[in-house]
Amino acid sequence: GAGVSQSPSNKVTEKGKDVELRCDPISGHTALYWYRQRLGQGLEFLIYFQGNSAPDKSGLPSDRFSAERTGESVSTLTIQRTQQEDSAVYLCASSLDRSRETQYFGPGTRLLVL
Amino acid sequence: GENVEQHPSTLSVQEGDSAVIKCTYSDSASNYFPWYKQELGKRPQLIIDIRSNVGEKKDQRIAVTLNKTAKHFSLHITETQPEDSAVYFCAASYSSASKIIFGSGTRLSIRP
């Protein structure tokens, strides 16, 4: 079946602009994660959605970052007033249920802030 | 909170030799330990995982060992091949309601 998809695949924006990144998880997956990966670096946790529970937002680096997910479907990550240090690949992952299951990663959105 | 430390950060081995990557975790309640492989420019993919009720798991050339007393787990790759070159991430999770915590990654290079 279809895997995790993300859009856009690449995004170039100017400093100060807002951007919205989209993640379509695998159908039926209740858990969804967002990560940030800077060039040559590790996976930086941003936010975690699990079913209808309140999301774990402990990884969001500032109040410019926010994410939403409606039910068990699409999630959007919004970065307001982008800064150059926001440039990175933003990865989304979903898992069947709970965090103790295999995470399936999307291809990522490569964000470049000029 | 939960913390996962991974080392080494880089590892270079001769083709055919073995590679070992080690991780330690802080929360003794952790009970699920996956390993992900990320090839250059690609997304991370699960290669093997282990749960706390077993001490070792093997899948062809890859094995993972878990020492719950010492709170560490390791990835072993035998007979390394060029296609094993990638960044490897360990991770730990301790409950169905908690997020998975990743280590900082190990860049493995296989020398021909």
- CB proximity list for B60: less than 8 A, separation 6 or greater: none
CA distance A81 to chain B (A): 27
Residue B36 CA to residue A51 CA, distance in Å, equals 24
pLDDT of residue B28: 86
DSSP B99-111: --EE---EEEEEE
User: How would residue A105 be classed by pLDDT, with cut points 50, 70 and 90?
Assistant: very high
pLDDT of residue B1: 64
- CB proximity list for B110: less than 8 A, separation 6 or greater: B12, B13, B14, B15, B80, B81, B82, B84, B85
Residues B105, A48: C-beta atoms closer than 8 Å: no
Please say whether the beta carbons of B88 and B8 come within 8 A: no
Residue with tokens 């073995």: B18
Nearest to A105 among B44, B96, B105 (CB): B44
Residue A85 CA to residue A111 CA, distance in Å, equals 10
Residue B55 CA to residue B80 CA, distance in Å, equals 23
Residue with tokens 């390394």: B80
Residue of A nearest to B1 (CA): A58
pLDDT tens digit string along B66-79? 999 999 999 999 99
Please say whether the beta carbons of B15 and B78 come within 8 A: no
Q: Between A and B, how many residue pairs show a Cβ–Cβ distance under 8 A? A: 54
B13 has which bridge partners? B110
Question: What's the mean per-residue pLDDT of chain A?
Answer: 92
Residues A102, B43: C-beta atoms closer than 8 Å: no
Phi, psi of A59 (to 5 degrees): -95, -5
Radius of gyration for the alpha carbons in chain A, expressed in angstroms and rounded: 13
pLDDT tens digit string along B7-43? 999 999 999 999 999 999 998 888 889 999 999 999 9
Residue B22 CA to residue B76 CA, distance in Å, equals 9
Write down the number of H helices and E strands in chain A: 0, 10
